[in-house]
Amino acid sequence: MTDFERNKARVTAEYEALINRKNIVSDSYNGIYDRYVYPVLTAAHAPIIWKYDMNPETNPYFIERLGINAVLNSGAIYLNGKYYLVARVEGNDRKSFFAVAESDSPVDGFRFWDFPVQLPDTEPEETNLQALIDAEKSGIIKNGKITCVISSKEGAYALERAKNAGIGTVVIPRKEYADSKSYSEAILAELNRQGADLIVLAGFMIILDECVTKAYPYRIINVHPALIPSFCGEGFYGLKVHEKALEYGVKVSGATIHFVNEKADAGAIILQGAVDVANDETPESLQKKIMENVEWKLLPKAVSLFCEDRISIKDGKAYVDLKD
Q: Are strands 220-224 and 252-259 parallel, antiparallel or unpaired?
A: antiparallel
Residue 50 CA to residue 114 CA, distance in Å, equals 8
Residue 29 has pLDDT above 90, yes or no: no
Residue 199 CA to residue 259 CA, distance in Å, equals 10
Closest C-alpha among 64, 61, 65, 54 to residue 4: 61
Residue 126 CA to residue 124 CA, distance in Å, equals 5
Q: Which of 45, 224, 242, 258 is catalytic?
A: 224
For every residue of the chain, which 3-state class applies, written as one string?
CCHHHHHHHHHHHHHHHHHHCCCCEEEEECCCCEEECCCCCCHHHCCHHHHECCCCCCCCCCCECCCEEEEEEEEEEEECCEEEEEEEEEECCCCEEEEEEEECCCCCCCEECCCCCCCCCCCHHHHHHHHHHHHHHHCCCCCCCCCEEEECCCCCHHHHHHHHCCCEEEECCHHHCCCHHHHHHHHHHHHHHHCCCCEEECCCCCCCCHHHHHHCCCCEEEEECCCCCCCCCCCCCCHHHHHHHHHHCCCEEEEEEEECCCCCCCCCEEEEEEEECCCCCCHHHHHHHHHHHHHHHHHHHHHHHHHCCCEEEECCEEEECCCC
* Mean pLDDT to the nearest integer, 217-239: 93
pTM of model > 0.85 = no
* Mean pLDDT to the nearest integer, 138-147: 95
| Residue 202: per-residue pLDDT | 86
- Report the C-alpha dihedral over residues 240, 241, 246, 251, rounded to 10 degrees: -170
| Residue 127: per-residue pLDDT | 84
Band the pLDDT of 166: cuts 50, 70, 90: very high
Residue 161 CA to residue 127 CA, distance in Å, equals 9
* Mean pLDDT to the nearest integer, 54-79: 94
Count Cβ atoms below 10 Å from residue 37 Cβ, excluding itself. Answer: 12
CB 263 within 8 Å of CB 104: no
How confident is the prediction for the chain on average, in pLDDT?
93
Helices 239-248 and 283-290 pack at an angle, to 10 degrees, of 110
Band the pLDDT of 292: cuts 50, 70, 90: very high
Residue-range domains of the chain with CATH: 3-112 (no CATH), 124-320 (3.40.50.170)
| Residue 324: per-residue pLDDT | 67
| Residue 323: per-residue pLDDT | 76
CB 282 within 8 Å of CB 294: no
Radius of gyration of the chain measured on its C-alpha atoms:
27
Residue 40 has pLDDT above 80, yes or no: yes
Count Cβ atoms below 10 Å from residue 112 Cβ, excluding itself. Answer: 21
- Report the C-alpha dihedral over residues 73, 74, 76, 82, rounded to 10 degrees: 180
Q: Is 224 tagged catalytic?
A: yes
| Amino acid at residue number 23 | N
| Residue 121: per-residue pLDDT | 58
pLDDT for 81-94, tens place per residue?
Answer: 999 999 999 999 88
Residue 68 has pLDDT above 70, yes or no: yes
